[in-house]
């Protein structure tokens, strides 16, 4: 939006000449970041680095972190439960049941957001 109006940021990669060059590249080079892959291949990186076996993202990391946290212990003394802001019984039961097969992202996010709320409330209550 800013570049269309002639307002350019101070980032060297957002310089007008660089942006115009990238716009002029053929679509085949711009699709799926092919120019990045070509540059990495020319630098001599292996196929294992160029085409990783696992998808890049935070999902696997979130699931691993959630599997390492004992949510029963985390919420054993809880301001949220004491003030009846949220009933943990169903959520903790679902987390226990899912711990063997892997927690879903929805369940992980709900647990992490409640843990974050718990930390914030501990600063202001008690």
pLDDT tens for 5-62 read: 666 565 656 677 877 887 888 888 778 777 777 888 888 887 777 776 666 566 777 8
Indicate left, alpha or beta for 32 from its phi (over 0: left) and psi (-120 to 50: alpha): left
| 70-78: Cβ within 8 A, 24+ apart | 71/95, 71/111, 71/115, 72/96, 74/115, 74/118, 75/114, 75/115, 75/118, 78/118
Tell me the whole-structure pTM to 2 decimals: 0.52
pLDDT tens for 61-116 read: 788 888 888 888 888 888 888 888 888 888 888 888 887 778 888 899 899 999 99
Report d(CA 73, CA 101) in Å as an integer: 20
First to last CA, the chain: 47
Per-residue model confidence (pLDDT) at position 57: 64
């Amino acid at each position: 939006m800013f570049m269309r109006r002639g307002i350019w940021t101070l980032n060297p990669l957002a310089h007008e000449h660089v942006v115009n060059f990238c716009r002029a590249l053929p679509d085949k080079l711009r699709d799926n970041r092919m120019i990045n892959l070509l540059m990495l291949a020319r630098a001599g990186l292996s196929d294992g680095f160029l085409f990783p076996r696992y998808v890049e993202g935070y999902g696997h990391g979130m699931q691993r972190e959630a599997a390492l946290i004992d949510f029963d212990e985390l919420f054993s003394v809880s301001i949220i439960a004491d003030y009846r802001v949220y009933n943990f019984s169903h959520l903790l039961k679902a987390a226990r049941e899912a711990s063997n097969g892997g927690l879903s992202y929805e369940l992980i996010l709900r647990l992490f957001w409640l843990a974050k709320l718990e930390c914030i409330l501990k600063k202001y209550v008690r």
